[in-house]
Structure 1
Amino acid sequence: MSVDNPVKGRTAGTVSTERRLGVPAVTFMIIAASAPLTVLAGGVTTTFGVTAVTGVPLSFLVLGGILALFAVGYAAMSRYVTNAGAFYAYIAQGISRPAGVGASLIALMAYNLMQVGIYGLFGFTVSSLLSARLGISVPWWIPVLVCIAIVGWLGVNRVDLSAKVLGVLVALEFLVVIVYDVMSLAVAPEGVSAATFSPETLFVPGVGAVLSFGIAAFMGFESAAIYGEESKDPQRTVARATFAAVGIIAVFYAVSAWAMTVGTGPSAVVETAANSGPDMIFAFLGEHGGLLLSDIAQLLFVTSLFAALVSFHNAVARYFFSLGRERVLPGALAKVRADSGAPFAGSLAQTVIAVVVTVGFAIAGSGSELGELYPVLTMFTWLTNSGALGLVLLMTVVSVAVIGFFRKNGHGASLWVRLVAPGLGFALLTLVLVLIVSNFNVLLGQSESTAASFVLPLLVLLPGVAGIIWGLRLRRSQPALYARIGHGSENGWQDQ
C-alpha cells in the first residue's frame, strides 16, 4: 500500500512495489558488505601482524559457527517479521518497543560508522594508486567525494541495479583471491601443512584480539532481513541468503587465510604481515604472477571497497526508511522514488552524512603528523571498529529477542530453533562482545588505552540510551504511533 506524494516520489508502506531480489542477489549484497579482497589484504594481514597468532584460519570457522547459531533463530524469525528495519523490528517485537527504538539508533549509528569509515581506506587507496601508477597527486578526500556521489546515485535507483553491479564486482574479487590461494599452495616454501587449523595455534594469549578482528569480516551478513520487503519470497529468501553468506564467508576466509600461511610459510607469515600489511598480497602476486596481475588485484581492491560502500549505504537507507515510515524519525525519511521504489530520502540522508564526516576528517587531518596514513589510522580504523562493536551488540540483543518472540507464539518452531540455538548464540556473542571491548585499544592500533578507546564505544551506546528514552516518551505522548513501532507495513498500515 502506498500514498502518492507530489514531492519527488511517494511515502510507501514498503520500500518497493515490486519484489525483485532472489537468494543469489541478496547473498551477493551480503558478501559485498564483507568485501572479500579487503578482508584478506587488509584484515587478515593486520590480524597476523598485530596479534602474532598463526591460528587465524581456524578463527574464521569458530566465528562462522557462532554466527550460524545466531542465524538459526534470526532466520526463523524472518519468516514472521518482514521489515526493512530488521534488528529494530526484531527487538521491538521480541523484547519491547522502547528497546527496539534504542536498537534502531544503535543500528543507524553502527551502519553509518561502518560505511563512512570505509571511505577513509577507499580514499587512501585510490590516492596512493594514482600517485604510484600515474604520478598524479590527489588528496585522499577528492576520490571519496566522487565515490559518495556514485554510491548515492546507485542508492536512489532500483535495488536490483545495485545487486547486479555488486554481483560482478564480488565475482571478480573471488576470482583474484582464488588465484592468490592457488599460487600460494603451489609456492609453499615450507610445504603444505594444515597446522594453522589446529586449536593450539589459536587458543593462546591473543585469541581475544584475533576474534575481535575476525568478527568484522562477517559484518553485513545479518543484512538479509533488511531486504525482506524487496525479496521475491521473503519467508525463504532471507533465511537461505543468511545461511549461505555465513557458510561462504567462513569457509572462504578460512581457506584463504590458510593459503596465506602456506604461501609465505607459517614461520614467516607474522613477520611478513607486520612489515608489509596489505601490500603483502600484491607483492606476492607481482613476484609470482607478474606486475599485471598485481595491478589488477590492486584495482579490484578498490572495487572491493566500493562494493562494501554500496552495500552498507543500502542498509542505512532502508533503516532510515523504516524509522521514517513508523514516525520514530521524521516521516519525510520514508519517501521513496515512484519509478524505482528506492528509499531516496534515506539514501540522500546517508549521502549527506558521508559528505559531512569526510569533510570534517579532511579539515582535521590537514597538516597531521600521520601524513598520508591519516584517513586509514583515524577515519577507517576508528569508525569501522566502532561500527563492528555496535553490530555485535545488536546481534547479542537480537538473540534474546528471538527467544522472547517465540515465547509469545511458538509458531510450531522446535526447541532448538526457539530456545537452544539463540541461547547458545547469546552466550557466545556476549563472549565476543566482551573480547572486543577489552581489546578495543588493540583494534585501534594503540598499545595502551586512550580517550578514543572509551569515547568511540560511547558513540555507539549513547544513541541506544537516547532511543529507549524516546520510545518511553512516545508511549506516553503518542500511544497510537507507539503501537505501530516495529510493525512496519504489517496489517495493511500505511502513512497518512
Structure 2
Amino acid sequence: MSTAGAHAPTRRLTGRLGVGAIVFMVVAAAAPLTVIGGGFPLAALMGNGAGAPTMFAVGGVILLFFAVGLSTMSRYVAKPGAFFTYVGYGLGRPGGLAAAWLAILTYTTVQIAVYGFLGLTLGDWMQSKTGLDLPWWVWALALIAVVGLLGYRHVELSAKVLGVLLVAEVGIVIVLSLVILAQGGADGVSADSFTPSVVTSGTPALALMFCMAGFIGFESTAIFRDEAKDPERTIPLATYAAVTTIAVFYTFTSWALVQGWGKGFDQEVADDYAGFIITTAHTYLGGAGAEVINVLLMTSLFACVLSFHNVITRYQHSMSNAGLLPRHLGRVHEEHESPHVSSLIQTATALALIAVFAIVKLDPYLEVFTWFSGIATVAIVVLMALTCLAVIVYFTRNHVRAGAWRTWIAPGIGLLGLLGVTYVLFANFPMLLGDVDAAGNPRVGTLTIAMLALMAAFPVFGLVQAAVLRRHRPAAYATVIDTISE
C-alpha cells in the first residue's frame, strides 16, 4: 500500500515547536533528577566510586560524536522517522524495519519501567502523608490516564507541562549543588573525581554503563521534525543542546554531590544508595529541602513517561504512514493536530501491560523497573550504533559533500565508542536485570535468556515484515522508509 493518498492533510503532523520546546521534551525524557538520585549512586557503587562524574562527561562526548551524524542526516533525509528512517536509508529497508521495531521496544519498555517505579514511589508517599494504602498499580493506571489525556492533545500542551516540571527538578538539584559548594562540602572542594587515579579505580566500564542509561531520550529530537519550526535549523540545534545540557548537568551536579560527602562518599553510597539524594538534601537543605526533592523525584518520573508517550506515538504515526502499522494510526486530530489514534493505542498498551504485571504480581521495582529499564538501555545503545553506521554508509554511498568531519570522522568515533559501550552492556546484561546468584554475581539464567530473546524478537519481526512486503507488496516495500504522506 502506498503512503500517498487523498487524506494527507489529516495524516501530516504540523506545529511550530522551537529549539527550547523540543529540548524540554527530550531532556525531560532523560529524567535528570531521577538519574542523579538513582542512576548516579549505582554508577558510583558498582563502578568507580567518586570517579563516576567523569563517566557522565565521557558518555556525553561519545553521544556528541553520535549527534554530529544524526544532525547531518536530518538535513539530508528530511523525514520524521528518526532511527528507522536513517537506518533504512543507510543500511537498506530490512535494516530500517528492524530498527523501527527495536525502537518501539526501547521506548515502550523504558516507559513501562518508569510507570512501575513511579506507581511504587507515589503510593509510598501517599501512604506516608495521608494513610491511603493502595497497590502500586492503581497509581500507575491513574497516571497512565493522565498521560494519555495530555498526549491526546496538541504536543505544545505537553511541552509546556514538561517545561515547568523540568525547570523545577533541574533547579532544585542546582540549588543543592551550589549550597554544597558554598559550604565547602564535607572536606573542602576538590577535583579528585576527574583525576586518572580516581577515574580508573574500581570498574569504570560499569560506571559508564549506568551513566549512559541516563541519556536515553535525547536522540528522539528528529521524531518531532514535522512539528518543528524551521526543522532544518531547529532539529540539529535541539539535538546538540539536549546532549550538551544533559552531560554538563550530570557531570557538574554529580561532582558536587561527591563534594557533599568528601572522603566519606564511597561509604555513604554503600550504606544508603537508594536514599542518597534525599539524605544529602536533608543534610544541606534541611527537612523542607529533602521533602521538595522527594516530590520532584515523582514529577521527574511523570515528565519522563509523558515525554516517552509523545515519542512512541510519533514513532507509531511514522510507521503507519510508511505502511508498517495499520493506516488509521497515522490519522491526525483536526482540532488538536495530534496523532490522537496512535496516542490512544499507546495508552491502551500501557494500561494492558501494567494490568498484566499486576495480575502476575510482579514487583514494581525489582522486576518491572529493573527488567525493562535493562532492556531499554541495551536496545537504545544498539540503535545508536546502527544509526552511526548507517550515516557513514549513506554519505559514502551517495557521495554527499557535507564534509569529512560530519559524514564519517565524527560518526566513526561515535560508532567506536558506542560499540565499546554495547560490549560492556551485553557482558553485564544479567546485572542490569538483577539476574545474579546468591553471592551477587551476574549469571546467564532463565531471566537473561528470556529477555535477550525478547530483544531479538522485535528486530527479527522487522526483517520478516520486510521480506513479506518485498514479496507480496513491492510497491509498499519501495516506499517503506518514506514516512511522510504526500
TM-score category of the 2 structures, normalised to the smaller one? over 0.9
Q: Distance in 2 between matches of 1:197 and 1:441?
A: 29
Q: Does 1:381 align with 2:380?
A: no
Which residue number in structure 2 is paired with residue 273 of structure 1? 269
Structure-to-structure mapping, 1:78-227, within 5 angstroms: 78-185=74-181, 186-227=183-224
8 Å Cα contact 1:15-1:321 kept in structure 2: no
Write the deviation string for residues 393-443 of structure 1: whole angstroms up to 9, x where unpaired. Answer: 011001111012212334430011111111111111011001011111222
Deviation at 1:187, TM superposition (A): 4.9
Structure 1 residues 277, 138: CA separation in 2 closer, same or farther (over 3 Å shift)?
Answer: farther
SS at match of 1:84: coil
Which residue number in structure 1 is paired with residue 466 of structure 2? 471
Which residue number in structure 2 is paired with residue 299 of structure 1? 295
Structure 1 residues 167, 283: CA separation in 2 closer, same or farther (over 3 Å shift)?
Answer: same
Q: Distance in 2 between matches of 1:405 and 1:376?
A: 41
Q: Does 1:25 align with 2:4?
A: no
Q: Does 1:255 align with 2:249?
A: no
In structure 2, give the amino acid aligned to 1:264.
W
Q: Distance in 2 between matches of 1:109 and 1:407?
A: 30
Which residue number in structure 2 is paired with residue 45 of structure 1? 41
8 Å Cα contact 1:64-1:247 kept in structure 2: yes
Which residue number in structure 1 is paired with residue 355 of structure 2? 359
Structure-to-structure mapping, 1:452-467, within 5 angstroms: 452-467=447-462
Which residue number in structure 2 is paired with residue 371 of structure 1? none
Structure 2 stretches lacking a partner, 5+ long: none
8 Å Cα contact 1:209-1:443 kept in structure 2: no
8 Å Cα contact 2:51-2:201 kept in structure 1: no
Deviation at 1:11, TM superposition (A): 7.3
Q: Does 1:444 align with 2:433?
A: yes
SS at match of 1:340: coil
Q: Distance in 2 between matches of 1:314 and 1:448?
A: 35
In structure 2, give the amino acid aligned to 1:15.
L
8 Å Cα contact 1:58-1:199 kept in structure 2: no
Q: Does 1:312 align with 2:308?
A: yes
TM-score (norm 1): 0.93
SS at match of 2:76: coil
Deviation at 1:83, TM superposition (A): 2.7
8 Å Cα contact 1:387-1:460 kept in structure 2: no
Which residue number in structure 2 is paired with residue 331 of structure 1? 327
Q: Distance in 2 between matches of 1:14 and 1:341?
A: 9
In structure 2, give the amino acid aligned to 1:404.
V
Which residue number in structure 1 is paired with residue 387 of structure 2? 398
8 Å Cα contact 1:15-1:341 kept in structure 2: yes
8 Å Cα contact 1:84-1:321 kept in structure 2: no
SS at match of 1:21: coil
Q: Distance in 2 between matches of 1:163 and 1:4?
A: 31
Deviation at 1:329, TM superposition (A): 1.5
In structure 2, give the amino acid aligned to 1:44.
F
Q: Does 1:486 align with 2:481?
A: yes
8 Å Cα contact 1:39-1:217 kept in structure 2: yes
Aligned-CA RMSD value? 1.8
- Percent of pairs identical after alignment? 37
Which residue number in structure 1 is paired with residue 423 of structure 2? 434
Write the deviation string for residues 113-149 of structure 1: whole angstroms up to 9, x where unpaired. Answer: 0111100110111011112222221211111111000
In structure 2, give the amino acid aligned to 1:251.
V
8 Å Cα contact 1:82-1:229 kept in structure 2: no
Q: Distance in 1 between matches of 2:448 and 2:144?
A: 28
Write the deviation string for residues 454-484 of structure 1: whole angstroms up to 9, x where unpaired. Answer: 3223322221012112102211211111111
Structure 1 stretches lacking a partner, 5+ long: 367-373
Which residue number in structure 2 is paired with residue 15 of structure 1? 13
8 Å Cα contact 2:48-2:201 kept in structure 1: no
Q: More deviation in 413-422 or 126-135?
A: 126-135
8 Å Cα contact 2:48-2:207 kept in structure 1: no
Q: Distance in 2 between matches of 1:461 and 1:84?
A: 25
8 Å Cα contact 1:93-1:486 kept in structure 2: yes
In structure 2, give the amino acid aligned to 1:225.
A
Structure 1 residues 2, 148: CA separation in 2 closer, same or farther (over 3 Å shift)?
Answer: farther
Which residue number in structure 1 is paired with residue 285 of structure 2? 289
Write the deviation string for residues 350-402 of structure 1: whole angstroms up to 9, x where unpaired. Answer: 11111111112212227xxxxxxx21111111101211111110110011110
Q: Distance in 1 between matches of 2:192 and 2:379?
A: 34
